[in-house]
Amino acid sequence: MITMDDIVREGNPILRKVAEPVELPLTDEDKQTLVDMLEFIKNSQDPEIAEKYGLRPGVGLAAPQIGISKRLFAIHATDENGNLYSMGIANPKVVSHSVETNELENGEGCLSVDRDVPGLVPRRARLTITGVDHEGNDVRMRLRGYIAIVFQHELDHLDGIMFYDRIEGLEDPFKKPLPGFAL
Ligand SMILES: CC(C)(C)[C@H](NC(=O)Nc1cc(F)cc(F)c1)C(=O)N(CC(=O)NO)CC1CCCC1
Ligand SMILES: [Zn+2]
């Protein structure tokens, strides 16, 4: 099972790579990766398991965060209307989105970021995405609100983007040239 030890933390270059699309139909290995990531998210939301294994309660996880630079992520989150989105997705794509943006009023965090980074993270308010789920079915979903934010946060991981890149006026601490490297 995936635990926090398997989760790559910021500063690891894999989080800055553009992940590779996976071959379709999904291989058993890629299916298993999606299942494992979904299981981690569910475990992280189970108080007993989370306590036992020291899991940070999560709602989404992208493959690069467990060292796999592939376009795979898993989500287990409930939207404002109480609809549960519990799925693994391969090769997700945004096919359309609103111009309008919105953001979580308390900003965002990340399972790969062990520090608080305050600031609003603007995201598209509504978007339509397509992809393939962990059973190999084509999916096309119109998303809005909280769940749209979760999807965009995970999608960003597949493109090497961290939530704080989108906070106005923040520098990425790992982008600063190392001392002595005067450009
Ligand atoms: C980084 C962390 C704070 C753990 C964040 N959880 C979260 O925002 N809230 C949460 C957790 C629950 F278990 C149940 C619940 F209803 C709400 C999260 O999982 N992520 C996922 C992540 O880091 N993916 O790479 C960050 C969120 C920021 C906005 C969307 C996802
Ligand atoms: Zn994250």
**Pairing of the two strands 101-102 and 123-124:** antiparallel
**Domain boundaries defined on the chain:** 4-166
**Average pLDDT estimate for 65-88:** 97
Q: Whose CA is nearest to atom 5 of ligand 1?
A: 58
Tell whether ligand 1 has an atom less than 6 A from the beta carbon of residue 108.
yes
pLDDT of residue 17: 97
- Known binding residues for Fe cation are 110, 153, 157
Q: How far are the Cα atoms of 19, 52, 113 from residue 14, in angstroms, in the given order?
A: 9, 28, 14
pLDDT over 80 at 183, yes or no: no
To test ligand 1's pocket by mutation, which of 110, 115, 123 has the most ligand atoms within 8 angstroms of CB?
110
Residue 182's pLDDT band, with cuts at 50, 70 and 90, is low
- pLDDT tens track for 11-61: 999 999 999 999 999 999 999 999 999 999 999 999 999 999 999 999 999
Q: Measure the CA dihedral 118/126/91/157, to 10°.
A: -10
* Residue 29 bears catalytic tag: no
How many Å lie between the centroid of ligand 1 and the Cα of residue 108?
Answer: 8
Residue 179's pLDDT band, with cuts at 50, 70 and 90, is low
Tell whether ligand 1 has an atom less than 6 A from the beta carbon of residue 30.
no
Q: Which CATH number describes the domain made up of 4-166?
A: 3.90.45.10
Looking at 45-163, list the stretches that DSSP marks H as alpha helix, in order from N- to C-terminal side.
Answer: 47-53, 145-158
Round to the nearest angstrom and report the end-to-end CA distance of the chain.
45
Assess contact for 133 and 40: CB atoms under 8 A: no
pTM attached to this predicted model: 0.93
